[in-house]
Amino acid sequence: MQETQDMVLQRYLSDNERYADLINGFRFQGQQVLKGSDFSELDTRTGYRGQKGKRSGRESGRKRKQRYRDLFRKAAFGVNFMVIGIENQKEVHYLMPLRVMGYDADEYERQAAEIKKRVRCQKGLSRSEFLSGFGKDSRLHPQVTFALYTGSAPWDGPLYLHDMLDFTDIPEELQDLVADYKVNLVDIRRMENTDVFKTDVKHVIDFIRCAEDKEALLDLVEQEPYVKKMDADAFALVTKYTNSKEL
């Protein structure tokens, strides 16, 4: 079976050092806040499936189609951790804020379901704690999603949920009450400084940025020493994105 760009990218970023480098370069301007050893894998399946017939009422009917995340990791910070997801986008997606919000909500529901199993086994619960399946002192772990955009066209889609909403004639006092949601977009082809990356993520992004410029791509092939010792996964990725005969 011929591999897709998504499959090749997922294999490439399955390396935790690269995963950490991408986040460090994009969010921390290259500061080594995260290390590969801080990451551990999570199940990429998301979505809540109600258990049919277990109980009557609203909860037994809650079903959501199960979805799969592109990349999903747990990042350790001392005794705590944060969930960091990466979604690959080859094309502009005009529902991206809603899509990301759904992924993040799925993860919080997954955590809440795990907490519920533990809380319901405890003694001395208040009525509210038992009914919600969530203790007064229970806490969810924070979740963030990065949209990794590799398309050649500039991103012209919404980056905030509010950008998708029609507020015509809605009073500002009510508009302010509508929760917003942000897309953390990583626009690979329009990155100005790739020196913030410390692994071969830098070289891969440089190649993808030149994918539409054959002269620049040829110069990169001829002048970049890394080409001669490129990792197999990195090579598979850049050739998939550049379709380069020179490579």
- Coil vs helix vs strand at 88: strand
pLDDT value of position 68: 77
- Residue 45's pLDDT band, with cuts at 50, 70 and 90, is low
> How confident is the model at residue 127, as a pLDDT?
93
Band of residue 66 on the pLDDT scale cut at 50, 70, 90: low
pLDDT over 70 at 241, yes or no: yes
pTM of the model: 0.84
Could you tell me whether strands 143-149 and 184-187 are parallel, antiparallel, or unpaired per DSSP bridges? parallel
Query: Residue 66 and residue 120: Cα distance in Å, rounded?
Result: 25
Burial class (CB in 10 A: 0-12, 13-18, 19+), 176: exposed
Nearest in space to 186 (alpha carbons), one of 154, 216, 146 = 146
Q: How many CB atoms lie within 10 A of CB 158?
A: 18
Asked if residue 209 has pLDDT above 60, the reply is yes
Sign of torsion over alpha carbons 52, 58, 64, 66: negative
Average pLDDT over residues 19-37: 95
Residue 194: pLDDT band with limits 50, 70, 90: very high
In whole angstroms, what is the distance from residue 178 CA to residue 14 CA? 37
Give the pLDDT confidence of 83-117 residue by residue, as tens digits: 999 999 999 999 999 999 999 999 999 999 999 99
Predicted pLDDT of residue 55: 43
With vertex at residue 86, the alpha carbon angle to CA 82 and CA 89, rounded to the nearest 5 degrees, is 160
Quickly state the pLDDT bin for 169 (edges 50, 70, 90).
Answer: very high
Whether residue 73 has pLDDT greater than 90: yes
pLDDT digits (tens, 9 = 90+) for 112-152: 999 999 998 899 999 999 999 999 999 999 999 999 999 99
pLDDT band (50, 70, 90) for residue 41: confident
Mapping DSSP to helix (H, G, I), strand (E, B) and coil, where does residue 96 land?
Answer: helix
Q: Kind of pairing, strands 67-68 and 45-46? A: antiparallel
**What is the rounded distance in angstroms from the CA atom of residue 93 to the CA atom of residue 211?**
21
- β-pair partners for 73: 41, 84
Asked if the model's pLDDT at residue 34 lies above 50, the reply is yes
Model pLDDT, residue 51: 41
pLDDT at 226: 85
Average model confidence (pLDDT) across the chain: 88
Contact at 8 Å (CB) between 203 and 233?
no
pLDDT value for 139: 96
